[in-house]
Amino acid sequence: MKEQKFDDQVEGRNSVLELLESGKDINKIYVTRGEKHGSINKILAIARERKIIIVEKDKKQMDEMAQEENYQGVIAIVPPFEYVEIEDILDLAKQRQEEPFVLILDGIEDPHNLGSIIRTAETAGVHGIIIPKRRAASVNSTVNKTSAGAVEHMKIARVTNISDAIEKLKQAGLWICGTDINTEKYYYEQDLTGPLGIVIGNEGKGIGEKVRKNCDFLVKIPMKGKVKSLNASVSAGIIIYEAVKQRIK
């Protein structure tokens, strides 16, 4: 059974227009009654052409429905993002005849970070991403936007317990690499070829103690400045691309 999140809404004229032009599924479009000028006309024309349900509501109802202040009189309702199972990610690696390359995110809370990580992972050929169900960002329109549409091409599994997910990956033959500022080894000194899972921790706290103990090895990124931590999506990018470099070699 696939885990699904609730319907998501995309707001604002440019965002809705982009969504319409991408050809993705849209359940319905709500517009403020009487809004018929500028790009709204273009939105309505494309929506009618694609036989998408258009619902007019008065401004007060639209204001209550909107999640952003500047929704510009238009809200599109899109189907929920479909999460996959861990097995689906491993199957994709098999289909591509590649060593599994998986990203495990232990509590990324900022949707912009999640979107950036998904974008980097997709360009690097990562087979899938595992995220927790609780206390972490899930895939929504902000994540989709920040990922530049990469979520559409990335398998994402949403699990109850990250440690259990790591155990499952280990049983499938993956080595698990954790990131930890207090370890001795730099990321470029570690062999990152073969079946691999990379764990990226929470923006502030890093990876949890139980997850850290579950990793086969830990690596760190050298820090030379006064600030002692990197943005989570930057850290992820550095280590993902070191693995890519080693795999190409």
Q: What percent of the chain stands above pLDDT 70?
A: 97
Read off the pTM. Answer: 0.78
DSSP state of 69: S
Q: Residues 231, 161: one domain? A: yes
Q: Residues 70, 90: one domain? A: no
Q: Residues 133, 51: one domain? A: no
How far is residue 42 CA from its own chain's centroid? 30
| Domain limit, last residue, from 30, 60, 78 | 78
Domain that holds residue 68: 8-78
Cα–Cα dist 80/140, whole Å: 8
How far is residue 22 CA from its own chain's centroid? 19
Q: Residues 100, 217: one domain? A: yes
- Phi-psi label, residue 75: left if phi above 0, alpha if psi -120 to 50, beta otherwise: beta
Cα–Cα dist 196/173, whole Å: 9
Cα–Cα dist 246/120, whole Å: 17
pLDDT (tens, 9 = 90+) of the chain, 249 residues, equals 333 333 588 888 988 988 898 788 899 999 999 877 788 999 999 999 999 999 999 999 999 999 888 899 999 998 888 899 999 999 999 999 999 999 999 999 999 999 999 999 999 999 999 999 999 999 987 888 788 878 888 999 999 999 999 999 999 999 999 999 899 999 999 999 999 999 999 988 899 999 999 999 999 999 988 887 789 999 999 999 999 999 998
CATH number, position 21:
3.30.1330.30
* 68 occurs within a structural domain: yes
Q: Residues 13, 133: one domain? A: no
| Domain limit, last residue, from 25, 60, 78 | 78
Contact residues for 158 (Cβ-Cβ < 8 A; gap 6+): 3, 83, 130, 131, 132, 133, 138
* 27 occurs within a structural domain: yes
- According to DSSP, the residues that pair with 133 across neighbouring strands are none
Cα–Cα dist 51/48, whole Å: 5
**Residue 1 confidence (pLDDT):** 32
Q: Helix (H, G, I), strand (E, B), or coil: what is residue 183?
A: coil
CATH number, position 243:
3.40.1280.10
CB atoms within 10 A of CB 240: 22
Backbone angles phi, psi at 225, to 5 degrees: -95, -170
Only one residue has tokens 């990793």, namely 215
Q: Residues 223, 160: one domain? A: yes
Q: Residues 92, 166: one domain? A: yes
Q: Which of 26, 9, 236, 245 is nearest to 131 (CA)?
A: 236
| Domain limit, last residue, from 25, 57, 78 | 78
